Structure 1
Amino acid sequence: MAEHNDKGREAEQLAKCWLEGKGYVFVEENFRYKHAEIDLIMTFQGLLVFVEVKFRGGTGYGYAEEFVDYRKRQLIIRAADYFIHKIDWHQDIRFDIVGVYRDRHGNIAFKHFEDAFY
């Protein structure tokens, strides 16, 4: 597997643990539907939350949230719609982005954008 894929998977696991520490409950990871993938699906206070995780080794090329473009959002929404129907969910949903940042010293920081799009 390519190094960027390994870093992405590591970032997803870090984000999952961080969100669980904030009271989120894990439902599923790497849910695929056609050409789309949802990194994390969690529940939080009665909401079903679809989370896109982005890793950055710095901000020189931009912030994590800037890399979830219109096309990516549309794919995530389609996959979420399929998942909602699959599990017969009838409560509210939300789409979040979690940026995972590692500085040059290896320190990890998170930036959470709740209700980032839809």
Structure 2
Amino acid sequence: MRLQNVLGRKGEDLAAGWLTERGYIILRRNYRFGKAEIDLLAQKGDILAVVEVKMRRAGHLQPLDLSIGQKKRNLLIQAADHYVLENLLDVDVRFDIIYILHFQDRYTLEHLQAAFSPY
């Protein structure tokens, strides 16, 4: 397995654990629809969080809200719509980014809720 895949998996594991500790239920990991992949689908109450996990080395300075381009956003929105309809969910959908910086064996996590709007 490539190092990038290992780090991505580690990031998703950290993000899922962090969300679970805060009362979210992880419904799906790596949900695919068409060309889209949603890293985590997590529910807390009537909120479905569509979570994109970004793992970066310390020193990476790109702002969180710019880490997902418009094309990726559109794909995430389509995949989230499909998931909600497929599972007949009555939820509010929110698009979040969990950004993890790592340096050696230390990790810093930042959760940006409602990082972008589907409209």
Common fold, TM-score beyond 0.5? yes
| Aligned residue in 1 for 2:115 | 116
| Aligned residue in 2 for 1:39 | 39
Kept in 2: contact 1:25–1:43 (CA 8 A): yes
Aligned alpha-carbon RMSD (Å): 1.4
Range moving further from structure 2, 33-42 or 82-91: 82-91
| Aligned residue in 1 for 2:90 | 90
Kept in 2: contact 1:38–1:50 (CA 8 A): yes
Q: Which amino acid aligns with 1:109?
A: T
Aligned counterparts of 1:27 and 1:60: Cα–Cα separation in 2: 30
TM-score normalised by length of structure 1: 0.92
Q: Which amino acid aligns with 2:67?
A: F
**Structure 1 residues 65 and 3 mapped into 2: Cα distance closer, same or farther (>3 Å)?**
farther
Kept in 2: contact 1:43–1:49 (CA 8 A): yes
Aligned counterparts of 1:64 and 1:12: Cα–Cα separation in 2: 16
Q: Which amino acid aligns with 1:82?
A: H
Aligned counterparts of 2:13 and 2:64: Cα–Cα separation in 1: 16
Q: Which amino acid aligns with 2:5?
A: N
Deviation at 1:62, TM superposition (A): 2.4
1:23-102 superposed matches below 5 A: 23-60=23-60, 62-102=62-102
Gaps of at least 5 residues in structure 2 are none
Aligned residues: 117
Q: Which amino acid aligns with 1:83?
A: Y
TM-score normalised by length of structure 2: 0.91
Gaps of at least 5 residues in structure 1 are none
Aligned counterparts of 1:92 and 1:109: Cα–Cα separation in 2: 28
Give the % identical residues.
33
Range moving further from structure 2, 86-95 or 59-68: 59-68
Kept in 2: contact 1:55–1:64 (CA 8 A): no
Kept in 1: contact 2:65–2:116 (CA 8 A): no
